[in-house]
Amino acid sequence: MSSFSKQYDRRRILGAGLSLPALSIPGLSFANQERRLCFHHTHTNEKLDLVYRDATGYRADTLAQVNHILRDHRSGESVAMDSSLLDLLGDLYEVHGSRGEFQVISGYRSPATNDMLRSRSNGVAKKSLHMQGKAIDIRLTGVATSDLRDSALQLARGGVGYYSRSDFIHVDTGRVRRW
């Protein structure tokens, strides 16, 4: 069998696997599927329910809305949130039956907000991924926070922090780690 034939067969086999349901393989997110997210920002009381990605890709019109709701609620500043973070949230949403809404405690943080929070708590990182739009602190209504944490850990796509006393988790798209 030629090298080309081996590659073709491998692609055909892999292609067949991609028709499986989105989360049958831990850690994978599939680009062809419509992806929906529901948010409720706990500090601004804003809500958002939208499709951020469809069969054609990420939707610029709805990504702008996501960036707005996940802005630094103290300063009003926003950044383009990491699309991998949104896909991670989308996978968590699907794992738990696409019900409820993500209660957002903190999305993007400006450097000034991060410094202010660091001065009040030793649990805030100096180089927090929140400042790059690569982290979010959340709950998911109808889902125990410990179960949400376990799902995020199983996906193994970045950092997962568990804050049981405050009843939220942190997820980010940095290196895989936990605390």
pLDDT tens digits, one per residue of 22-61? 334 344 455 568 899 999 999 999 999 999 999 999 999 9
145 inside domain: yes
Q: Do the beta carbons of residue 41 and residue 104 sit within 8 Å?
A: yes
pLDDT at 107: 98
5 inside domain: no
Work out how many domains the chain is built from and give that number.
Answer: 1
13 inside domain: no
2 inside domain: no
pLDDT at 170: 98
Residue 151: burial class (beta carbons within 10 Å; 0-12, 13-18, 19+): buried
Separation in Å, CA 48 to CA 23, 36, 71, 93, 132: 24, 10, 13, 14, 21
Within a 10 A sphere around the Cβ of 5, how many other Cβ atoms?
Answer: 9
pTM of the shown model? 0.81
pLDDT at 29: 52
pLDDT at 122: 82
pLDDT at 68: 98
102 inside domain: yes
Please give the distance of CA 176 from its chain centroid, rounded to a whole number: 14
pLDDT at 72: 98
Residues of the chain with pLDDT under 50: 1-28
67 inside domain: yes
Query: Taken in order 79, 41, 124, 178, is the CA torsion positive or negative?
Result: negative
Beta bridge partners of 38: 49
Provide the residue type at 116 as one letter: M
The whole-angstrom separation of Cα 159 and Cα 106 is 15
The whole-angstrom separation of Cα 75 and Cα 113 is 8
pLDDT at 32: 62
135 inside domain: yes
Give the CATH number for residue 145. Answer: 3.30.1380
pLDDT at 121: 86
Tell me what the pLDDT averaged over the chain comes to.
86
17 inside domain: no
pLDDT at 77: 97
Report the length, in residues, of the chain: 179
Domain that holds residue 161: 32-178
pLDDT at 31: 52
